[in-house]
Structure 1
Amino acid sequence: MITVTGATGQLGRLTIAALLQRGVPAAEIVAGVRNVERGAELAALGVQVRHADYDRPETLAEAFAGSDRLLLISGSEVGKRVAQHANAVAAAKAAGVRLLAYTSILNADTSGVGLAEEHRATEALVRDSGLPFVLLRNGWYLENYTANLAPALQHGAILGSANDGRVAAATRADYAAAAAAVLTGDGHDNKVYELGGDQPFTMAELAAEVTRQSSVTVVYRDLPPAEYAAALAAAGLPEPVAAMLADSDQGVARGELNTDRRDLRTLIGRPTTTLGEAIGAALPA
């Protein structure tokens, strides 16, 4: 039995799809979800949908029962994740899970990005559990840059604080395929995978590729972190989110969201999705 937590999230759904593509019978997949009603589409595929709320350990015990391999997708509530993940790790150990995979962040052990702190703490919990584990240190999603290109096309600019740092981004589907490969394969016990795209790029190169494919001139404007956070807040983002994004861009500038390892390509058995392909898929036809 393979269990995927956070299964109604974007990465969770894609991971379950990748497991099915690999031939895992739907009845042998458990989708752990906070809201069972949102799992109706997964249930329609024959997947077992079980209530799994990181804040309610009793639901995790039931959700993980009988699981051989478990993918712990990191929670979305920054500031609460260590306690939530501790509940999940304890439940996995109690259930006798034979492989615990966790979606961490690229270069988690050395990164100065604020988001890395909770991932480092969770990685320690996973290691200390005594369970065989895999740390899937996911880099940035290409969708972070391609999901909302309309403002860039409207204003002719992409804003940021990444300077000329390179980011090894890949699509959620790439990371999901890697997770599925680990959950269905052998020889991954106690491995740490640094996962990133084959072709790292700068924000200036992102702007140039948007320009090339859209025929609208788009430039990259590098701002001091405080100005970038203020611009994001002015655009409607909550101030903590704006600050987090500005901090993450500083991580890009320092090279902390880049990697020259090809672990992702190796796990999925193909080249990772390129920036050009992702932009092409995101732009209006």
Structure 2
Amino acid sequence: MTEVARSERLRAALDAISKKVDGKPAADNTVNRKRMVLSNALRYAVERTILPANPLGRVDWTAGEKDDEVDFRYVPNPKQAAALIDSVRRLSSRGDHLAAFFGCLYYAAMRPSEIAALRAADCTLPETGWGELVLAGSRPEVGSGWTNDGQSYEQRGLKRRARKATRSVPIPPVLTAMLREHKEKYGVAEDGRLFRAAMGGRVRSTEYCDLWDSARLKALSAEEAETPLADVPYSLRHAGVSLWINSGVDPVEVPQRAGHSLTVLFRFYAKILKGQQSRANALIEKGLNGG
């Protein structure tokens, strides 16, 4: 353990956690989370009297600058997003089954792990008008070697919230209708989940990513398909949040629906938010003029 406490060893460890497997810089949140895990391990060594003090604080280190902002050149617009989801539906029977899965990514800006955990009981789906989803958990994919029961996923609470916390997401009529149709056509899993694999388990990312790749080639032009435009399903979540901001939804309301913090919103969507300044200026001027 004395070797671990040497500054050059710790600096090498910090450099390692600041990169992804492919050598590219990791996101700030990822680096901070891994640094916290490393610090906790060293604190435990102090508690067990293996180390006299946590040596991490002595290392003057900061992760390299990384631009986390979404590249909006490659975020699909509303017309493209709708075409991509429709293309998924037309691919095959599995595409038809998972079209509403992609609809949740876009129209509700949900995370894939949240959609995987969505149950019929979480949904209010009127025949007309807006519906509501009350999200209560997530099923992120993990390696089976990291779970107690050998499953390839874990049952968790919502990201960065207390385990029993919920999040209410109003959903537009188009998604309400999609989920009603999906439920009527395919039913639900034994535990009430709306989306399931062919054998009843969690929908795997490999499956919906393969569908997405095929749908993308059909929905986009050859020139567009050669670019990173909508290159991953998660781009639909970025598109959904971008639509809310551009539509004038309060910046406080947007992260509440999307399930992240204001800090994340301003870091990832800075360009769009800055683009709302003209609208804000007009509203302020109207108020100053007594209008």
Could you state the TM-score of these two structures normalised by the residue count of structure 2?
Answer: 0.21
- Larger Rg over CA atoms: 2
Higher helix share: 2
Higher strand proportion: 1
